[in-house]
Structure 1
Amino acid sequence: MNDDNPRIDRRNFLMGSIGTLGLAATASPLFGRIQSAQAAELPLSSLNPDEALQKLMDGNQRFVRHQLQHPDQTEARVHEVSQAQHPFATVLSCADSRVPAEIVFDQGIGDIFDVRIAGNIVTPESIGSIEYAVALLGTPVLMILGHERCGAVTAAVQNTPLPGKIGTFVEAILPAVERIKNQPGDAVDNAVTANVQYQMELLQRSSLITERAESGQLKIVGGRYDLDTGTVQIIA
């Protein structure tokens, strides 16, 4: 077994619900029929991109003000989404335990399609997951969410050898670090913002994502989470 097999297996598992064609087959008639079937089964979000983003940000304000509503967390909600999901937002965020999207945006089960990976980096697997969410599930807003004092970004700024596969996400952040090396201020905080912007640029390589954005069906934004206050700020 070679090193690529786990990656292939994960991708196959993700794509299982739409068959072996994968998301890259968007132009094919068969993909269109699959997408139509998905849409018929799922009550897609009725929110437009601006409304979806506002719903996220309103939830974050409730979190910051300690006025949580804990929506969509009842037994009834569990049963409602047991056969299909219709999230109103996709969030690519860091795997950091202090930044759970449903909590910091005060949302519930089935509301946010979470894609979490150290450093909120764009990989083939994370792109595929996001494509699934925006193209088939129809989420109208996509946020790439970085956060203050990110360990992955700090490691990239320090750029020292790391054990195991930990260094792989560092390599993915280094281009963003290079952009801010001559900027004044805190290098890690500057790199957090630059990394969000850089990962957003990488997402533009996906035709599925860009087509949704260009058609006005998807808004792509970058955010920064403040560990001290709990506030999410739109930075891109």
Structure 2
Amino acid sequence: MFSAREALQRLRDGNRRFVSSLGNHEAPHKPSRPVELVQEQNPLAIVLGCSDARVPAEIVFDQGLGDLFVIRVAGNIVAPSQVGSVEFAASRFGTRLVVVLGHTQCGAILATIEELQRPAESQSRNLRSIVDRVRPSVEGLLKTELRSDVNALVRHAIRANVSASVNHLRYGSEVLEQLIRNDGLLVVGAEYSLETGRVEFFDGVE
């Protein structure tokens, strides 16, 4: 079992490998190992990320089969099912690192900003449930000078949304709170750059 810090270093190293391989179309793919994973899995990290097709965690962190327990949902929001999934993996597999992975140009953030500025009457209840969970991270920013700079507003809103999800996991689950307090579970935020391929860790990373 990896400690939280060991797992974090593995992800950082993997992301560096991924960034260095960009543009190298002959870079080999990791070999699969499905047979040895039939009976068990020991993921080194739990990643709660966005469903955006451009941000596959295993590729971004250069990890293989069985290395990551990945939960994906638009806007990397935290709802009961996501909390339960994190609790399951942390308790069942002993995984000690949880990464909430946001990304630049996040469509869920953009949709929330648009909804707050121009409410859409035709928006479905299901889509609105995502927007409503992102909304608290954006509303406060719209009351600042950032409202006049859309690009800066989006950048700050993405970080604020990741931080909100991190805090929800840290303080919204008795199971996770106990694992943090007694067993070294670490919950951190991160942002993947669509432009460069780099992942920047923050919110709990020294």
User: Under TM normalisation by the shorter chain, which class is it?
Assistant: 0.7 to 0.9
1:91 touches 1:114 (CA, 8 Å); kept in 2? Answer: yes
Output the CA distance in 1 between the equivalents of 2:9 and 2:177: 21
* Secondary structure, counterpart of 2:158 in structure 1: helix
Is residue 7 of structure 2 the alignment partner of residue 52 of structure 1?
yes
Output the CA distance in 2 between the equivalents of 1:179 and 1:142: 26
Comparing 157-166 with 138-147, greater Cα deviation is found at: 157-166
- Given candidates 124, 148, 166, the residue that maps to 1:200 is 166
Counterpart residue number, 1:121: 77
Query: 1:166 offset after TM fit, Å?
Result: 1.5
Q: How many residues align?
A: 188
Is residue 17 of structure 2 the alignment partner of residue 62 of structure 1?
yes
Alpha-carbon displacement from aligned partner over 1:49-87 (angstroms, at most 9, x marks no partner): 10100001110010001086744x32xx21011121110
1:180 touches 1:194 (CA, 8 Å); kept in 2? Answer: no
1:59 touches 1:106 (CA, 8 Å); kept in 2? Answer: yes
Of structures 1 and 2, the one with the larger relative CO (CA 8 A, separation 6+) is 2
Query: 1:220 offset after TM fit, Å?
Result: 0.9
Unaligned runs of 5+ in 1: 1-44
What letter corresponds to residue 64 of structure 1 in structure 2? V
Comparing 52-61 with 213-222, greater Cα deviation is found at: 213-222
Query: 1:163 offset after TM fit, Å?
Result: 3.0
- Given candidates 126, 136, 154, the residue that maps to 1:175 is 136
Counterpart residue number, 1:87: 43
Query: 1:201 offset after TM fit, Å?
Result: 1.3
Counterpart residue number, 2:186: 219
Counterpart residue number, 1:17: none
* Secondary structure, counterpart of 1:194 in structure 2: helix
1:179 touches 1:194 (CA, 8 Å); kept in 2? Answer: no
1:56 touches 1:105 (CA, 8 Å); kept in 2? Answer: yes
Query: 1:235 offset after TM fit, Å?
Result: 2.3
Unaligned runs of 5+ in 2: none
Query: 1:219 offset after TM fit, Å?
Result: 1.2
Output the CA distance in 2 between the equivalents of 1:97 and 1:179: 29
What percent of counterpart residues are identical? 40
Is residue 64 of structure 2 the alignment partner of residue 108 of structure 1?
yes
Counterpart residue number, 1:9: none
1:70 touches 1:108 (CA, 8 Å); kept in 2? Answer: no
* Secondary structure, counterpart of 1:215 in structure 2: helix
Comparing 173-182 with 88-97, greater Cα deviation is found at: 173-182
1:193 touches 1:235 (CA, 8 Å); kept in 2? Answer: no
* Secondary structure, counterpart of 2:53 in structure 1: coil
* Secondary structure, counterpart of 1:152 in structure 2: helix
Aligned-residue Cα RMSD (Å) equals: 1.6
TM-score by length of 1: 0.76
Output the CA distance in 1 between the equivalents of 2:145 and 2:39: 50
Alpha-carbon displacement from aligned partner over 1:114-152 (angstroms, at most 9, x marks no partner): 000000000010000000011111111100011001000
Output the CA distance in 1 between the equivalents of 2:49 and 2:192: 10
